[in-house]
């Protein structure tokens, strides 16, 4: 991937997409193309084919898709299945037809079985049932992983690369309470409790489940590394994580301290916990020489600073 290679970032305004844009531009890549959702409907095959035939991107980062937290996944499983399958299918077909050099697809740790050995190795895929609350989304992501493999097999290519990040967080995450992931939800709840002088903040679940988190800019760095080293990869998916996990209670304590909320943290155990633990075994990807750089404390601090800036900007409108 050269500095003047034509690179398409799908989903460039989202959590991962914005981190990819920052990394690519910062590294001097000068020919990065993007399209807003209002300009290009990724679930429409004809629109995607017209775009690829006109623009002819050489490299594609497929960071677009429908994502959300536990409650949203439970409420709209068909939407999570349909939207993600449609986007993947259209862009995979276009990438093959118009001879993209390499495409990176992103899965999720929810692809692994609910009762999975820890840490989760790539080989554990499809060895058990996934968590019920994310079944639609997980099924779509599993299909994308298998899609990368079978396209490469059928067309005798290494065009498609599947990466499985652990739970991502960072600037441009979704901080809506209903649709957010755990870190963005924690930041918003603690921030609002602080500014409203609340004596306590109530969080969902028991706080016992353990999760592994990785800063979005670390995944962006891993993605550029993967493009640059694509010929070294086997036709399989690769986990990408930090190797460290935290209980939600531990994470809440760290986040509250960074936000500056010193009230009591309460737990609503009527809300679902999800899988009890998700820790990826990232040995295979790390063996190529890449490693994450941002600690959980530093990542949370950066994310909260961004959230505060957005809150101030929105209040001024």
What SS3 class is residue 121? coil
Do the beta carbons of residue 146 and residue 92 sit within 8 Å? no
Q: What is the DSSP letter of 202?
A: E
Q: Which two tokens stand for residue 194?
A: 């602080």
Q: Which of 59, 137, 215, 307 is catalytic?
A: 137
Measured CA to CA, the distance from residue 211 to residue 290 in angstroms comes to 21
Annotation says 80 is catalytic: no
What are the CA-CA distances from residue 152 to residues 16, 32, 172 (Å)?
A: 25, 25, 32
120 bridge partner residues: 280
Measured CA to CA, the distance from residue 45 to residue 102 in angstroms comes to 20
Closest CA to 285 of 245, 224, 241: 241
- Alpha helices by DSSP H, listed for 56-206, are 70-75, 77-97, 135-155, 182-195
What are the CA-CA distances from residue 40 to residues 65, 74, 171, 227 (Å)?
A: 13, 28, 23, 24
Measured CA to CA, the distance from residue 237 to residue 231 in angstroms comes to 14
Residues involved in catalysis:
137
């Amino acid at each position: 991937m050269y500095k003047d290679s034509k690179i398409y970032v799908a989903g460039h305004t989202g959590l991962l997409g914005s981190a990819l844009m920052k990394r690519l531009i910062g590294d001097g890549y000068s020919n990065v193309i993007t399209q807003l959702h209002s300009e290009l409907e990724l679930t429409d095959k004809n629109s995607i084919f017209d775009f690829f035939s006109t623009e002819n991107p050489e490299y594609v980062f497929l960071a677009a898709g429908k994502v959300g937290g536990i409650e949203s996944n439970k409420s709209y499983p068909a939407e999570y299945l349909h939207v993600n399958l449609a986007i993947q299918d259209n862009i995979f077909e276009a990438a093959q037809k118009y001879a993209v050099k390499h495409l990176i697809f992103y899965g999720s740790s929810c692809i692994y079985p609910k009762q999975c050995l820890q840490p989760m190795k790539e080989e554990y895929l499809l060895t058990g049932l996934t968590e019920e609350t994310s079944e639609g989304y997980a099924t779509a992501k599993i299909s994308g992983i298998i899609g990368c493999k079978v396209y490469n097999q059928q067309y005798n290519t290494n065009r498609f690369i599947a990466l499985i990040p652990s739970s991502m967080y960072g600037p441009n995450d979704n901080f809506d309470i209903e649709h957010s992931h755990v870190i963005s939800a924690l930041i918003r709840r603690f921030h609002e409790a602080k500014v409203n002088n609340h004596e306590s903040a109530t969080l969902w679940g028991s706080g016992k489940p353990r999760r592994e988190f990785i800063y979005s800019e670390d995944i962006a760095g891993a993605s550029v590394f993967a493009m640059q080293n694509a010929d070294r990869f086997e036709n399989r998916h690769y986990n990408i994580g930090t190797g460290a996990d935290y209980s939600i209670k531990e994470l809440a304590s760290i986040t509250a301290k960074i936000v500056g909320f010193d009230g009591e943290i309460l737990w609503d155990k009527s809300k679902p916990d999800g899988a009890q633990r998700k820790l990826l075994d990232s040995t295979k990807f790390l063996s190529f020489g890449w490693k994450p750089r941002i600690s959980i404390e530093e990542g949370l601090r950066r994310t909260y600073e961004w959230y505060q800036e957005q809150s101030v900007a929105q209040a001024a409108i």
